[in-house]
Structure 1
Amino acid sequence: MNTRSPRATERGFDSAHFRQALSQFATGVTVITTRLADGSFRGLTASSFNSVSLDPPLVLWSLGTRANSLPVFSGNSHYVINILSAGQEELALRFSRRTDNPFEGIDYELSRTGLPILKGVAAWFECHNRSRYPEGDHVIFVGEVEDCAVQPQAGLLFHGGRFGTTG
């Protein structure tokens, strides 16, 4: 099956205008975590999270092709998607920056496969790294959910360049 459409027409906007338009769509905020072969942890902030399928349970997120962590997440078999709750702005900022160890001094527990689950999140999904699709300047990751949990509470949102909440 051919999944590509005929070529798009010429754009009538630049990338700055496109980014501004995208900022008008409120998104949830996640931190994606995984473990390296040496036992250390990696994590990053992502707002490009969405459900794909209930049967099988699939979710997706995307990562820029220039991200230093792309080889880590492309090569690992599992990761955890942590859905941040209201009040976790500092976690979102911490994992969006390059730091030696963003896990230092924060509370987390380990999943059944030894991956970090951040404490206080609204929900988390432990995923098998099922497939990856390069598109434009990002790679789309599709994860098959093997375990998940929910703590119903207001979620952290990002809209117009600022954090907000669902509640």
Structure 2
Amino acid sequence: MTDSFIPAPGTEAEMRKALGLFATGVTVVTCMSPRGPLGITVNSFTSVSMDPPLILWCPAKSSRRHDAMAAAGHFALHIMGEDQDDVALGFTKSGEAFEGFDWISSERDVPLIENCPARFECHIRDRIDAGDHTVIIGHVDRVTVTDSAPRVFMAGQWGQFQHRG
């Protein structure tokens, strides 16, 4: 079966379903805010450039965490591991879900989640208005990598990638 539609008011569910067919990683972005450490689970993350080292992520303007995240000068983007579902799920519900797992503060006072497959510590280079989201481009200042396996998200479900070889 093939289904085509023009994205318009009333087709948001179909658009979300179509976009959900693209597998992404599960990430948590953290920053320090005026109310303290803040985090949010996002899947709108991608690399932008190797020279200079740039990444981007896109918080929804409707999120209560949007303004604090967009205003922060520094942030950390954490690629979540298969054993960190509780951390990622915690930040889908609350920006203050830092209890129950290991984290430290960076020298720039950014909350850093420990034991992630990869962590990117960044300063914000650009903020771009993009409809109902803001595109935040970060310049990567430090990368930390472990040997843990990353969590994958697709079609509304979490899973993992099976390595062959």
If the length of structure 2 is used for normalisation, what is the TM-score?
Answer: 0.88
Tell me which residue corresponds to 2:15: 18
Contact in 1 for aligned 2:152/2:159 (Cα 8 Å): yes
CA distance in 1, matches of 2:150, 2:99: 23
SS in 1 for 2:93: coil
* Distance apart, 1:12 and its partner CA: 5.6
Q: Identity percentage over the alignment?
A: 35
For residues 4-153 of structure 1, the aligned pairs below 5 Å read 11=6, 14-37=11-34, 40-98=36-94, 101-153=96-148
Q: Which runs of 4+ in 1 moved over 3 A?
A: none
Contact in 1 for aligned 2:33/2:69 (Cα 8 Å): no
Contact in 1 for aligned 2:57/2:136 (Cα 8 Å): yes
* Distance apart, 1:116 and its partner CA: 1.3
**CA shift digits 1:21-76 (9 cap, x unpaired):** 111111001100011246x2000000011000001100000011111111111211
RMSD after superposition:
1.6
List runs of 5+ in structure 1 lacking aligned partners. 1-9
* Distance apart, 1:114 and its partner CA: 2.1
CA distance in 2, matches of 1:12, 1:161: 20
Tell me which residue corresponds to 1:160: 155
List runs of 5+ in structure 2 lacking aligned partners. none
Amino acid at match of 2:118: A
If the length of structure 1 is used for normalisation, what is the TM-score?
Answer: 0.87
Q: Relative to structure 1, is the Cα distance of residues 119 and 15 closer, same or farther in structure 2, using a 3 angstrom cutoff?
A: same
* Distance apart, 1:148 and its partner CA: 1.0
CA distance in 1, matches of 2:81, 2:151: 5
Say how many residue pairs are matched: 156
